[in-house]
């Protein structure tokens, strides 16, 4: 029923992949020769060709992230160009594009809604890659894409070089005395018979000093170094905007923002801008109060003029005083196995899905747990869960989809599979893995993604599960599930001391819940500032470094709670939008959060968090339909109305 995760012959991957790609091309050529093309004889087999490639390549790329070695790196590097070349070739094949269009035009009356959606998405994506243009324009697009990827790479490289080029040495223990032991241990070194401390601009190190460093001068020193990194990126941004403009004009768009929206749930540029402005204006007053609270706290310490580089330091102290959240106190209550089993009980209780451990399934490490998911006694999906940190595993947490649910041309149903990967504290022979509450939230988040993929019952792979879901709503199911990890009733299902069995007290749970909304308005405003800058930049296509600065300054004047110093050049390190896929899409984080919060708010309003009826409705509309319908339609089916921004603001404690 499921393909085994089997990498015994990984060394031969390149040869095997070449063979698979060669066959795929032949199969597609044969399909293109069909005279009377229909959905069944053309699109369906075309879809299956794509699925069989990802069936082969997904585990090979996956293994490089979770069981990294020289061999996996070599295989990855050998296979990546083969796959990218193949994909580029397919995306530029206008025979496929025209065949899809013909089927859309000629067979329209016989197609069902899901098939129509498949064609709509595919034709859109072919067009966005310029497949329908003349050769001269295609050639130009190719050049532009190449230059753009070189520039993005240079942007990242400059940033990385600047990040690595800096260090701050602290000699006086007084200046580091508040830094947590684990961070201090990493910073400590011996020189000339003295103990000194080194801080860098790399993430854990920078965060440690800016949050806990007692010396105000040192805090400013490292802050200044951090936000003046890579000044040469200012010119790269100018070129990036210029080239992106040329690219989208060839494709028929006025600006990059409208190009970005072509694949998103948000329809109009104004919709995104007014959405962000609404959040900002509703959060502004409370953000002022939150800032005032830190200001007063800092004043007690003799700091009357709080600056950007003081904010994290005094906020952390204030938070500790208000909520006293000691991670170490909570960890024994969140033992991995017990969390997982309690989580499964919860999912079974609300979604009516059962997780059963598969004991003989192959995986990439002995710590990986494999489960089959069943619904009404019928197995519908398989999930691989790899929770603990390991040396050969990449950092962070993510969900990776392997197979999609769909019905093959032969009539056989392919069942979906996915992996969840986290980096939780490892277990040893003596102690089990004990999680922080933030780890529990991460697990809920990734499971939200996984269920979106695995519970699909869509018959077409291209719009099944998370495939075909618009970028600005993919985080909806994941953030939705996160909210349950802050609920008392849910936490009580599994927060039991691993030695004594004692259940975490109401008082301790209340502290977690209250601390969640600490400075929520300030952080929302910061996100809105980034998102508005990103969106307006790509809307107005501003190509001059100084004008770009003016745009950022204007947004800050309007929305930032605290104006950063003049030397702050945050834009030069904004990799999300200059070296990643978030250009004119940074708003997506908040956009999806509105749906998550609003769906969760329905549970709050029903007076019952474990509301099975509502949860099943959520499962049957949002999760089961995957990418086969637009999310605004699915949301309407769930709520009988459009999403409301106010639920998010209420849940975050920003309005009441
Ligand atoms: Zn996510």
Predicted local distance difference test score (pLDDT) of residue 34: 98
Other C-beta atoms lying within 10 Å of the C-beta of residue 94: 14
Ligand 1 centroid–CA 260 distance in Å is 20
Of 51, 446, 529, 593, the active-site residue reads 446
Predicted local distance difference test score (pLDDT) of residue 325: 86
- Residue-wise pLDDT tens digits, 336-383: 999 999 999 999 999 999 999 999 999 999 999 999 999 999 999 999
Q: Is the pLDDT of residue 108 over 90?
A: no
Which letter does DSSP use for residue 436 in this model? Answer: -
- Residue-wise pLDDT tens digits, 240-261: 999 999 999 999 999 999 999 9
Ligand 1 centroid–CA 445 distance in Å is 6
Query: pLDDT confidence of 474, banded at 50, 70, 90?
Result: very high
Predicted local distance difference test score (pLDDT) of residue 23: 98
Predicted local distance difference test score (pLDDT) of residue 327: 83
Any idea of the CA torsion for 440, 443, 448, 453, to the nearest 10 degrees? -170
Residue 179 burial (10 A CB sphere; 0-12, 13-18, 19+)? buried
Ligand 1 centroid–CA 477 distance in Å is 9
DSSP conformation letters of 91-141: HT-HHHHHHHHHHHHHSGGG--HHHHHHHHHHHHHHHHTTTTS-HHHHHHH
- Residue identified by tokens 């085994």 is 4
Distance between CA atoms of residues 347 and 354, nearest Å: 8
In the chain, what's the furthest Cα-to-Cα distance? 83
Predicted local distance difference test score (pLDDT) of residue 504: 97
- Residue-wise pLDDT tens digits, 136-179: 999 999 999 999 999 999 999 999 999 999 999 999 999 999 99
Predicted local distance difference test score (pLDDT) of residue 1: 83
**Three-state DSSP class for residue 375:** strand
Over residues 316-320, mean pLDDT = 95
Any idea of the CA torsion for 535, 540, 543, 549, to the nearest 10 degrees? -60
Using CA atoms, how far residue 543 sits from 114, 140, 241, 257, 270, in Å, is: 41, 20, 6, 15, 21
Distance between CA atoms of residues 308 and 575, nearest Å: 21
Q: Can you give the C-alpha Rg of the chain in angstroms?
A: 26
Distance between CA atoms of residues 94 and 78, nearest Å: 28
Buried b (16+ CB within 10 A) or exposed e, 314-327: bbebbeeeebebee
Ligand 1 centroid–CA 589 distance in Å is 9
Ligand 1 centroid–CA 482 distance in Å is 10
**Three-state DSSP class for residue 372:** strand
Choice among 270-279, 423-432, 611-620 with the minimum mean pLDDT: 423-432
Predicted local distance difference test score (pLDDT) of residue 195: 97
Choice among 2-16, 212-226, 491-505, 633-647 with the minimum mean pLDDT: 2-16
- Residue-wise pLDDT tens digits, 274-316: 999 999 999 999 999 999 999 999 999 999 999 999 999 999 9
Q: Which residues line ion ligand 1, judged by CB < 5 Å?
A: 478
Distance between CA atoms of residues 492 and 338, nearest Å: 11
Q: Is the pLDDT of residue 610 over 90?
A: yes
| 246 given a catalytic annotation | no
| Cβ(413)–Cβ(462) below 8 Å | no
Ligand 1 centroid–CA 276 distance in Å is 20
Element of type H or E holding 421: strand 417-424
Q: Global pTM?
A: 0.94
- Residue identified by tokens 């001068």 is 217
Predicted local distance difference test score (pLDDT) of residue 306: 96
């Amino acid at each position: 029923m499921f393909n085994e995760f089997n990498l015994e012959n990984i060394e031969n991957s390149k040869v095997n992949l070449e063979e698979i790609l060669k066959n795929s091309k032949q199969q597609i050529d044969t399909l293109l020769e069909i005279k009377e093309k229909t959905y069944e004889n053309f699109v369906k087999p075309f879809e299956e060709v794509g699925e069989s490639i990802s069936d082969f390549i997904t585990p090979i790329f996956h293994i490089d992230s979770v069981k990294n070695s020289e061999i996996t790196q070599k295989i990855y590097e050998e296979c990546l160009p083969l796959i990218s070349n193949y994909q580029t070739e397919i995306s530029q094949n206008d025979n496929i594009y025209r065949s899809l269009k013909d089927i859309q035009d000629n067979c329209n009356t016989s197609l069902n809604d899901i098939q129509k959606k498949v064609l709509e998405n595919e034709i859109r994506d072919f067009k966005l890659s310029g497949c329908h243009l003349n050769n001269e324009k295609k050639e130009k697009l190719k050049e532009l894409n190449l230059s753009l990827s070189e520039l993005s790479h240079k942007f990242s490289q400059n940033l990385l070089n600047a990040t690595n080029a800096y260090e701050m040495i602290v000699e006086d223990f007084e200046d580091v005395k508040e830094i947590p032991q684990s961070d201090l241990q990493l910073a400590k070194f011996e020189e000339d018979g003295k103990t000194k401390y080194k801080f860098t601009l790399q993430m854990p190190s920078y965060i440690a000093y800016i949050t806990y460093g007692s010396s105000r001068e040192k805090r400013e020193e490292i802050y200044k170094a951090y936000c003046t990194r890579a000044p040469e990126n200012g010119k790269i941004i100018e070129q990036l905007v210029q080239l992106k403009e040329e690219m989208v004009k060839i494709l028929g768009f006025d600006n990059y923002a409208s190009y970005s929206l072509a694949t998103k749930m948000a329809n109009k540029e104004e919709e995104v801008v007014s959405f962000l402005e609404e959040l900002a204006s509703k959060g502004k007053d409370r953000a002022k109060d939150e800032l005032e609270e830190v200001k007063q706290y800092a004043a007690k310490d003799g700091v009357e003029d709080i600056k950007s580089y003081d904010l994290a330091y005094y906020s952390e102290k204030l938070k500790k005083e208000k909520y006293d959240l000691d991670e170490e106190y909570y960890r024994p209550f969140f033992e991995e196995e017990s969390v997982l089993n309690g989580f499964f009980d919860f999912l079974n209780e609300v979604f009516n899905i059962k997780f059963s451990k598969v004991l003989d399934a192959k995986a990439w490490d002995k710590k990986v747990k494999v489960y089959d998911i069943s619904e009404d006694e019928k197995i519908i999906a398989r999930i691989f869960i790899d929770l603990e940190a390991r040396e050969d595993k990449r950092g962070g947490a993510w969900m990776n989809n392997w197979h999609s649910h769909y019905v093959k041309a032969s009539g056989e149903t392919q069942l979906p599979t996915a992996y969840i990967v986290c980096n939780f504290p490892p277990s040893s022979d003596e102690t089990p893995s004990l999680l922080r509450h933030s780890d529990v939230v991460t697990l809920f988040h990734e499971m939200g993604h996984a269920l979106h993929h695995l519970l699909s019952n869509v018959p077409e792979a291209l719009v099944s599960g998370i495939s075909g879901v618009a970028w600005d709503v993919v985080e909806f199911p994941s953030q939705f599930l996160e909210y349950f990890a802050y609920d008392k009733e849910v936490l009580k299902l599994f927060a039991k001391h691993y030695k004594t069995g004692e259940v975490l007290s109401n008082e301790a749970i209340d502290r977690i819940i209250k601390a969640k909304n600490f400075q929520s308005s300030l952080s929302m405003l910061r996100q809105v500032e980034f998102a508005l800058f990103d969106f307006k930049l790509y809307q107005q296509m501003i190509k001059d470094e100084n004008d770009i600065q003016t745009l950022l300054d204007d947004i800050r004047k309007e929305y930032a709670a605290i104006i950063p110093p003049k030397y702050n050049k945050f834009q030069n390190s904004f990799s999300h939008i200059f070296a990643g896929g978030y250009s004119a899409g940074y708003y997506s984080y908040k956009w999806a959060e509105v749906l998550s919060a609003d769906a969760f708010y329905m549970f709050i309003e029903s007076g019952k968090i474990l509301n099975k009826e509502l949860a099943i409705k959520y499962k049957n509309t949002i999760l089961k339909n995957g990418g086969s319908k637009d999310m605004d339609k699915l949301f309407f089916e769930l709520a009988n109305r459009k999403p409301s921004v106010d639920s998010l603001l209420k849940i975050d404690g920003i309005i009441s």
